[in-house]
Structure 1
Amino acid sequence: MVRTEPSAADRHLIRIAAGLGLKLSPYRLERWRTAGLIPRPGPGTLVRIGNTKVYTPETASLVVGLLTCAQLCRTNEELALLAFFNGVSVSPDPLRAALLKTYFPQYTKTRDQRDAELTRIPADFRDEVAPEYNWAEAVAAIDMTEHEAAVRQMRDNLRRRRELAKASRTELDERVRGVLIWLNAPALPTQDHVFMADLRASMAFAGPPEQSRAAWLLAAVCHSEQLAERSTTSGVERLETFLAVTDDDLRALREQVRESLDAMCYMATEGRSSRFPFTSSETARLASRMLVEWTTARQAYPPGSRPAQVLVDSLRSLWSLCSTDSVGEGRAVFERRTRRRVYGVGDLA
């Protein structure tokens, strides 16, 4: 805690913040210095103005950026993440620590959830099929509870089929679960006509996009892994991969994640918003987990792949699989109808 009068350099920062309508205390500055969010006075961090040394414009800009985001955060870790995804040049060390602290507890929680779902499958049933199918069934069970809007849209789309118009909620949910199981499996059973009919109906590509965007988004995310080279990685391997990422690559990954979230936001909000809002610590944590995950996941795709493009390619692949030679509007018509309203990715669509 600061127990003396603030230095001339700190007073200069406080005046800059006040000029922007922001309140900055010397105590907050010291807490940020202790956390490594801003540099301590020293060579390269101060410039001379007359007879006074003050912080460089870069540090002043950093402090203003942190101060703007601070009111939305409770901890320094949350502040580092939210500021980073809002374009602030956060110091690398506290940023990397915050990214790892955010990602790995959720990674462990997700793994434990899947393991718990696997144990719910009767042993006799688990032994009858390949491990990949059991894993897909466990993930589908989680999807059913965590993506209610998508499940509801898929269920409503299935009910439009004449033979399912009076089907019970239980039957429709089982059909949705079957679709999600195979979307999470290594590949779709395209020769299974019953399954493909359910997939085609649940996606309702021929219908108004606003009635199925949530379903399309979930299906595209799941199916994108079927377009990649599947492999198993451990937590240690993911950590080593992330630690090898350079600072420049970290900033590039941020832009790719923001681009992907913009596309998801456009689709999930049925075209009402084309920008994902980084206005809370929750949104920053979501983006952070995506960034760390992508550092490993991108190795399964061709070099230069971007998550937003992967999402679009996955959606197009699903549409193609759900089309037939005798029925359908054609890819060009589909893209014209949905380019802006569905993807919201600009020239990626």
Structure 2
Amino acid sequence: MIRITAACGLKLSPYQLERWRTAGLIPRPGPDTQVKIGDTKVYPPQTAALVAGLLVCAPHCRSIDDLALLAFFNEVPVPFDPVRAALLTAYFPQYSKDREQKDEALQRIPAKHRGQEEPWYDWAEAAAFVDMENQAAVRQMRDNLRRRRDLATASRHELDGRVCGVLTWLNAPALPTHDSVFMADLRAAMAFAGPPEQSRAAWLLAAHCHSEQLAERSETSGSERLDTFLAVTEKELRSLRELVKEALDAMWHMATEGRCRRFDVNSPSMARGAGRMLVEWTTVRRAHPAGARPAQLLVDSLRSLWSLCSTDSVGEGRGAFECRTRPGR
């Protein structure tokens, strides 16, 4: 194997070879993993392609999990078990951390204010507090709100309060379309009729939240998500990878004003993010119709928001809006 990769201009060390064998990334020599040519047993071309792919990804990675994920999302034929283990490591510690952040945010709500609204309201407010950490989206919403004449001289504190209010209702089961004050804030924060480069991060965050409002909402636990993911087959895993890559392309197309159509997963951090999206979708897809695709859900959610925000206001027109947001254009 070392000689084969050297012939391709790649350097494979004995240490790497053994480390990857131990981790299950490449098979050990044996009757089931080698073919006989004359009196010599060699790895088949598929294994050589696998090792070559790992060697290309390896310089960017510090751990086996990162290598497995980066190779997987770059379509290197990595074995199923190490990829599944890496996805578990990427998703569940972050899932627990996110839950802890929301629980901490919930505890910061004054006790006298908790439970005054519907049972879901406190949790929606806690989720909004966490979403406020998305600095790019919050900054865009705040700047868009300031463009409204009555908020032109508003303090940052007031504007942040309005942004948090918008995010609270975006994390609620449904938007209060009957509330004219809230809808005015939502229309201003989204600024669909304004320069898109000033609102793309805000649109992505809002579309993600609103897509959950369009789904069938249900409570899940970490153990339920784990069981759901462990039931995923190798074939399903490859299919899920394509759905995630399609969704990343759609988001990147939107974020770059249509200049770029493909999002390259070229670093461990990007691979971990894509991996978390994949594991999340194994549970989230149950709340959507069979065959739903996350990329299309994102666009449908954004168009739904556009439609709601265009009521009682003059927008650019549905045709023009769809031309600016259609994936793959």
Give the TM-score of the pair, scaled to structure 1.
0.91
* Contact 1:158/1:201 (<8 A) preserved: yes
| 1:280-321 per-position Cα deviation (integer Å, ceiling 9, x unaligned) | 111111111111110000000000011111100100000000
1:346 counterpart residue number: 328
Does 1:70 find its partner at 2:81?
A: no
Contact preservation (8 Å) 1:81, 1:285:
yes
Q: 2:27 aligns with which of 31, 39, 47?
A: 39
In the aligned structure 2, how far is the partner of 1:213 from the partner of 1:327? 20
**Are the equivalent residues in 1 in contact too, given 2:91–2:276 (CA < 8 A)?**
yes
Q: Identity of paired residues, percent?
A: 71
> Quick check: 240-249 or 42-51, which moved more?
42-51
CA shift for structure 1 position 22: 1.5
Separation of aligned partners in 1, 2:270 and 2:222:
23
1:59 and 1:332 mapped to 2: Cα distance?
50
Q: What RMSD, in angstroms, separates the aligned Cα atoms of the two structures?
A: 1.4
* 3-state DSSP of counterpart to 1:115: helix
The one-letter code matched in structure 1 to 2:109 is I
Q: Distance in 2 between matches of 1:328 and 1:31?
A: 58
The secondary structure found in structure 2 opposite 1:128 is coil
Contact 1:78–1:284 (Cα < 8 Å) also in 2: yes
Question: What is the match of residue 127 of structure 2?
Answer: 139
Runs (5+) with no aligned partner, structure 1: 1-12
Provide Cα deviations, 1:196-226, integer angstroms capped at 9, x if missing partner: 0010011111112112111111110111100
State the partner residue of 2:96. Answer: 108
8 Å Cα contact 2:192/2:315 also seen in 1: no
Counterparts of residues 156-235 of structure 1 (less than 5 Å): 156-235=143-222
CA shift, 1:265, in A, is: 2.0
Whether the 8 Å CA contact 1:17–1:64 is kept in 2: the answer is yes
Q: CA deviation at 1:275?
A: 2.3
Q: Does 2:42 align with 1:60?
A: no
Shift of 1:111: 0.5
- TM-score, scaled to structure 2: 0.96
Pair 1:273 & 2:273 matched: no
Match of 2:14 among 26, 37, 42: 26
Which AA in structure 2 matches 1:322? C
Shift of 1:49: 2.5
CA distance in 1, matches of 2:211, 2:106: 23
Tell me which amino acid in the other structure corresponds to 1:237. Answer: E
Q: Report the CA distance between 1:329 and its aligned residue.
A: 3.3
Secondary structure (helix, strand or coil) at the match of 2:261 reads: coil
**Secondary structure, aligned partner of 2:113:** helix
C-alpha contact 1:114 1:139 (8 A) present in aligned 2: yes
Residue 234 (structure 2) pairs with residue 252 (structure 1): no
Aligned residues: 329
Q: Which amino acid aligns with 1:127?
A: G
Counterpart code for 1:128: Q
8 Å CA contact 1:77–1:98 kept in 2: the answer is: yes
Whole-Å Cα distance in 2 between the matches of residues 335 and 267 of structure 1?
11
Tell me the amino acid that sits aligned with residue 164 of structure 1.
L
CA distance in 1, matches of 2:149, 2:312: 22
* CA deviation after TM superposition for structure 1 residue 28, in Å: 1.2
1:65 offset after TM fit, Å? 0.7
Instruction: State the distance in 1 between where 2:321 and 2:173 align.
Output: 26
> Does the 8 Å contact 1:65/1:83 carry over to 2?
yes
In structure 2, how many angstroms separate the alpha carbons of the residues matched to 1:328 and 1:209?
13
Structure 1 outlier segments of 4+, above 6 Å = none
Q: How far, CA to CA, are the matches of 1:89 and 1:228 in structure 2? A: 34
Kindly tell me: are residues 325 and 157 of structure 1, through their superposed partners in 2, closer, same or farther at Cα, counting changes over 3 Å?
closer
